[in-house]
Amino acid sequence: MKKLIIFVFILSSVCLKVHADGVLLPKDTSYPYTFLKNMVTEITVNIHGQMVETTVYQEFLNESSNPVDAVWNFPMPADARSTKLTYWHNDTAYDAVLRVAEQVVNPGTGDGGIAAVVNQYIGKSGIKLELKNIPAHSTQKICFHYFSLLDYCKGEYTYKYPLNTSDFIQYYLSYLKVNINVDSKSPITSYDFPGYTGYTQVLQSDSNHLSLEMLKNKAYLASDFSFNYNIAQDSLNVDFYSNYSDTLRSYFGLFVKPPLNVIPTKILEKRIIFLIGNSSSMNGYKLQQSVSAVSDALDSLKQNDYFNILFYNSAVTQFNSAFQLVNSTNIQAAKTFLQSATAQNGSDLNTGLTAALNMISDSSYHNCILGFSDGHSVIDPINFANSNHFKTTICFVGLGDNIDRERLEMTAAYNYGAVTYAGANDNIKEKVMEAFIKINAPLIKNVHIDFNKPDVAFVVPTPYPTVNAGSCFYVAGRYSTATQNTLNLYGKGVIGNVGSNYNTSYSADTANEFYVRYLWVKTVMDELERQILIYGEDSVLVDSLIALSLEYKMKCRYTAYFTMQTAITGGGTTGILNHDTITANNENSIKIFPNPFENVMTVSVTIQKGGSNKTKLLKIYSSLGMLVKVIDISELPEGKSTVDIDFSSMPKGIYYVLYQEGNNILKSLKTIHI
């Protein structure tokens, strides 16, 4: 069996952007300092294989003699989703309210100034919360939770936390503490906490569990911190997680983990096209590092592999019109061609990627595309998926911070691939080689997974990528009943059809492995946001994304956090849907009975005085956040009325009913169809 791999290099521009710890920016221009002083930061990192829950607890001191309003800013990683935000007021903890609105604007936002610096460093994924009336000489406490996935390559998981505030905060932090807790289903062979070894205490260490504590007083936050751990992985295996819901479908996550090393005879033969961007913006370090990485990758190709090299800017230049067999003569000629590269003209990834796909004329080889770009692109993910007739894997490397993440990630996800990122301070060559390692030893292509469980549904993401030694991938989904099942994973290997069977336990426990819910909903929300950002703000997609955000309390691009006081009084700026404030006096706006119900749901609606001339809608969402019904009740008079809604043709399960009057969402209720 042969395989074809095409590498497309997409290097995004390396711009200086500081990601850092949370900061509290005062709104009062008379406040004596630029920020409220950060006294304490305690970070707890709970790692479950590749999934990670991060909790950040901070204390800030109001050093003035007057109460102050301030905006808390946190640079949440681009691949993370928030799950909870708690703040303290008068020594009482409150959970911030997630509502449909834009985030609060930093004081002084505009051209230049500290607000512009803060806006830049927190980036598009940054979290903000306005805190009012912080008493004089008091401590403001904040606790923030977010969910993300660790980077993985060749048995090593890597975690990074944004801690560097040296560009605009010159004082030390009185107290910095980091708690690392690792729960691994594979044996842990080693770990490293670079830069903090002398401050770290091991609390627990065995084959599958690790607990560390790092404590540093008077810490100057001049760099981010990272943590990594390594596992043993000698054979193709899976990690399975599940969490039961006693009201509707439950949640599971499956992580497919190939062996780290395999004998060469088990690796599919391949043909590789390196597609390297050489536009004028690639001039210098980026192009040099790309060429150097590809040169090293050529030396790592296997016997009987084939390769080619394409440069693209506004046009495409080929090393050869045909694929070349891996041998010393062809490799040396390719390296000479690489050294001839010059950066010029504009960048057209769409043309380069199309040219690469057009070189693929059969499916007897494993197909893969890896891309580097120095900016944004007009590539259409769905168009490339439809043109991908031979199941070519499309992968990317994105470098720097000015990256069109959504377009790269959607193109990769729809075409069996993944994206590797390198930030402005990362080593480009190392990241290129990491991406290459993940695809250099394919073992099984055209992967299928049979769960052998009829109630498994809503599995994401699909299609499944190729099984490559030293890499991994995951899928998440829903189930209804707790059972023991056998899962089949199979596809095409060197000897033909190959596969393995695995025992899986769909739990009946509602508390254990609760975090797997976040895995599923994050994956669904990420996909919805990509579709919206690339193809436009379709109302069904937007409403579905908002419904998931509010149900699972994960912030999306249309929702923001507010204190209880701000949410009730209607503060903040409305968002893209132009929903106004959440009405405070809305307890009797709608009621549902019976609840649960069988075939007919009755909604009691109270129309407030003066509301009879407004457009009034009942919007009903499934538990997946999909809008399934919209009922126009604009003709109802003031006072109480009832509306009967037929659910006889609808699937049983949980639904959410939103009552919208004009541009106000007055009420949201959960109901169960039995």
**Please, which residues have CB within 8 angstroms of residue 123's CB and are 6 or more apart in sequence?**
17, 19, 75, 78, 401
Chain-centroid distance of CA 186 in Å reads 24
C-alpha distances out from residue 234 to 340, 436, 672, Å: 42, 20, 46
At 624-652, the pLDDT tens digits run: 667 788 888 888 888 888 899 988 888 88
- Confidence class of residue 1 from pLDDT cuts 50, 70 and 90? very low
Q: Is the pLDDT of residue 122 over 90?
A: no
Over residues 618-629, mean pLDDT: 78
C-alpha distances out from residue 328 to 292, 298, 338, 639, Å: 17, 10, 15, 85
Burial 569-581 (b: 16+ CB within 10 A, else e): ebebeebebebeb
- Confidence class of residue 115 from pLDDT cuts 50, 70 and 90? confident
Q: Is the pLDDT of residue 575 over 50?
A: no
- pLDDT > 90: what percent of the chain? 60
Over residues 360-384, mean pLDDT: 89
Q: Is the pLDDT of residue 174 over 80?
A: no
Q: Is residue 351 classed as helix, strand or coil in its secondary structure?
A: helix
Tracing tokens 């940054």 back to the chain, one arrives at 126
- 82 closest CA partner among 144, 24, 149, 23: 144
Q: Is the pLDDT of residue 11 over 70?
A: no
Over residues 508-520, mean pLDDT: 95
Class of domain 1-10+231-535: alpha beta
Q: Are 180 and 212 in contact (CB under 8 A)?
A: yes
What length does the chain have? 674
**Lookup: tokens for 65:** 């003699």
Q: Is the pLDDT of residue 17 over 70?
A: no
**pLDDT on residue 655:** 84
Q: Is the pLDDT of residue 359 over 80?
A: yes
- Secondary element (H or E) of residue 210: strand 209-219
Lowest mean per-residue pLDDT among 86-95, 146-155, 218-227, 475-484: 218-227
Q: What are the structural domain ranges in the chain?
A: 1-10+231-535, 23-223, 583-674
Q: Using CB atoms within 10 A of its CB, is residue 305 exposed (0-12), middle (13-18) or buried (19+)? A: buried
Q: Are 422 and 428 in contact (CB under 8 A)?
A: yes
pLDDT greater at residue 298 or residue 582? 298
pLDDT greater at residue 212 or residue 664? 212
Q: Is residue 624 classed as helix, strand or coil in its secondary structure?
A: coil
**Rounded-to-integer distance, Cα 199 and Cα 215, Å:** 6
Q: Are 619 and 628 in contact (CB under 8 A)?
A: no
pLDDT greater at residue 410 or residue 14? 410
- Confidence class of residue 573 from pLDDT cuts 50, 70 and 90? very low
Q: Is the pLDDT of residue 239 over 50?
A: yes
The DSSP secondary structure of 107-165, one letter per residue, reads TT-SSSHHHHHHHHHH-TT-EEEEEEEEPTT-EEEEEEEEEEE-EEETTEEEEEE----
**pLDDT on residue 666:** 75
- Confidence class of residue 3 from pLDDT cuts 50, 70 and 90? very low
- In this structure, what are the phi and psi dihedrals at residue 433, rounded to the nearest 5 degrees? -65, -35
Given this chain, do its domains 23-223 and 583-674 carry the same CATH topology? yes
pLDDT greater at residue 361 or residue 581? 361
Enumerate the H helices of 258-303 as residue ranges.
285-299
23-223 architecture in CATH?
A: Sandwich (2.60)
Q: Is the pLDDT of residue 435 over 70?
A: yes
**pLDDT on residue 610:** 66
Q: Is the pLDDT of residue 163 over 90?
A: no
**pLDDT on residue 36:** 94
**pLDDT on residue 199:** 80
**Please, which residues have CB within 8 angstroms of residue 502's CB and are 6 or more apart in sequence?**
237, 238, 240, 486, 487, 489
At 596-609, the pLDDT tens digits run: 888 899 999 888 77
**pLDDT on residue 611:** 60
**pLDDT on residue 585:** 41
What single-letter amino acid sits at 470?
Answer: G
Class of domain 583-674: mainly beta
- Confidence class of residue 583 from pLDDT cuts 50, 70 and 90? very low
Q: Is the pLDDT of residue 246 over 80?
A: no
At 439-463, the pLDDT tens digits run: 999 999 999 999 999 999 999 999 9
- Confidence class of residue 10 from pLDDT cuts 50, 70 and 90? very low
Burial 18-27 (b: 16+ CB within 10 A, else e): bbbbbbbbbb
- In this structure, what are the phi and psi dihedrals at residue 349, rounded to the nearest 5 degrees? -60, -35
Cis ω before 454 (30° cut-off from 0): no
Over residues 497-518, mean pLDDT: 95
**Rounded-to-integer distance, Cα 643 and Cα 624, Å:** 24
At 280-329, the pLDDT tens digits run: 988 888 899 989 999 999 999 998 999 999 999 999 999 999 999 999 99
Q: Is the pLDDT of residue 109 over 90?
A: no
**Lookup: tokens for 473:** 């991938």
Q: Is the pLDDT of residue 111 over 70?
A: no
- 63 closest CA partner among 41, 32, 26: 32
- 136 closest CA partner among 68, 35, 59, 39: 68
Q: Is the pLDDT of residue 20 over 50?
A: no
